[in-house]
Structure 1
Amino acid sequence: MTAIGLRLATAADSEYCFRLHKAAMGAYVTAIWGWDEQVQRDVHARVFSPGQWQIITTEGADAGMLHVEHRPTEIYLARIELHPDHQGRGIGSQLIRSLLLQARQQGRDLALDVLVVNQRAQALYQRLGLHEVTRHGANDIKIRMSTKPPQPGPIHRS
């Protein structure tokens, strides 16, 4: 297994996180909304949260970012992005398994949202035991997934 470290993001990590987002998620953003550099920079400036985001490190290098919210009934994986150079090495799986264990120990569910066009991530989350709960957003572009067992009947779409 690859040794993984986490450190709190600082203001100095802002540009790294923006470039990481572009490298890891640019194709998915483009497929849904189109990539507008200034719009994406403006969104990043609004959401970048040093002190809450963590930088994923491996082998002494920055490899990605993680943002987890601890909510009353669930642990919400708000964002996990790995640079393409570090994908496919089990890093994301290892981090998510750790969150799954933490959620189980605390009697909570693990939940996240994934873009409908990101089938690779959906497959990973399913392999790790998450289930589709609902689709939401304009044109149902996001899928809410959770460890909470799916309810009988059709998947709710909002």
Structure 2
Amino acid sequence: MNLDFRQAAAGDSEWLFDTYRRTMKGFVTSAYGWDEDLQKAGFAKSLRQGSCQIVTWEGTRCGFVHWEVEPDLVWLRMLCIVPEMQNKSIGSATIAKVMTLSSYLQKQLYLNVFVCNRAAYDWYRRIGFVEIENDGKVSTLALAPSPSPAHTERHI
């Protein structure tokens, strides 16, 4: 799969929020309730921090990824793939990009996931994230460090 990434621009803001609403409204509603104005304001504020990139496949916007590099970690703020484009490995390729950045910067990668979003929670666990906190609504996960090659046994 050949995905392209480009920095989100001001003209993308309506599409970004619509994508967020389409992918996350059910989970946000389940955990906290949905207030459209509050969600728009919080989303806009969040996007002013860090980096947000639009993911395109064959020229079509299919999702976005938003992360922030902090002094001691990389925080994955959001990874949203439009519903009709899910389950096509777009999310896997997108998270791989953020995991590579985290590794390159030598900073641990963290994210929050709604506990009620079992598909996302289970997927993050399968690709190497471990739970470090859970308040019953949101689970904080950290990418488990890979064993360094010097400490990996080789069996021939």
* TM-score in terms of structure 2 length: 0.82
- The count of corresponding residues between Structure 1 and Structure 2 is 145
1:93, CA displacement in angstroms? 0.9
Aligned twin of 1:84: 83
Matches within 5 A, 1:122-141: 122-136=121-135, 140-141=136-137
- Per-residue CA deviation, residues 69-118 of structure 1 (Å, 9 max, x unaligned), is 12233222111111101111111111212322333344322211111111
Secondary structure at the residue paired with 2:51?
coil
Instruction: Work out whether 1:147 is the aligned partner of 2:146.
Output: no
1:50, CA displacement in angstroms? 8.5
Instruction: State the distance in 2 between where 1:45 and 1:103 align.
Output: 24
Q: Which moved more, 1:33-42 or 1:110-119?
A: 33-42
Secondary structure at the residue paired with 1:65?
strand
Give percent identity, aligned residues only. Answer: 30
Aligned twin of 1:110: 109
Aligned twin of 1:18: 17
Instruction: State the distance in 2 between where 1:68 and 1:82 align.
Output: 15
The one-letter code of the counterpart of 2:78 is R
- Per-residue CA deviation, residues 100-153 of structure 1 (Å, 9 max, x unaligned), is 2333344322211111111111111111101001124xxx4211111246xxxx
Q: Which moved more, 1:127-136 or 1:31-40?
A: 31-40
Secondary structure at the residue paired with 1:53?
strand
Structure 2, unaligned runs of 5 or more? 146-156
Instruction: State the distance in 1 between where 2:120 and 2:17 align.
Output: 20
**RMSD value, Cα:** 2.0
1:51, CA displacement in angstroms? 7.9
1:55, CA displacement in angstroms? 1.0
- Per-residue CA deviation, residues 3-32 of structure 1 (Å, 9 max, x unaligned), is 111111111111101110111101101112
* TM-score in terms of structure 1 length: 0.81
1:53, CA displacement in angstroms? 1.4
The 4+ residue runs of structure 1 with deviation greater than 3 A are none
Instruction: Work out whether 1:7 is the aligned partner of 2:3.
Output: no
Whether contact under 8 Å (2:113, 2:140) holds in the other structure is yes
Whether contact under 8 Å (2:128, 2:144) holds in the other structure is no
Matches within 5 A, 1:52-91: 52-91=51-90
Secondary structure at the residue paired with 1:25?
helix
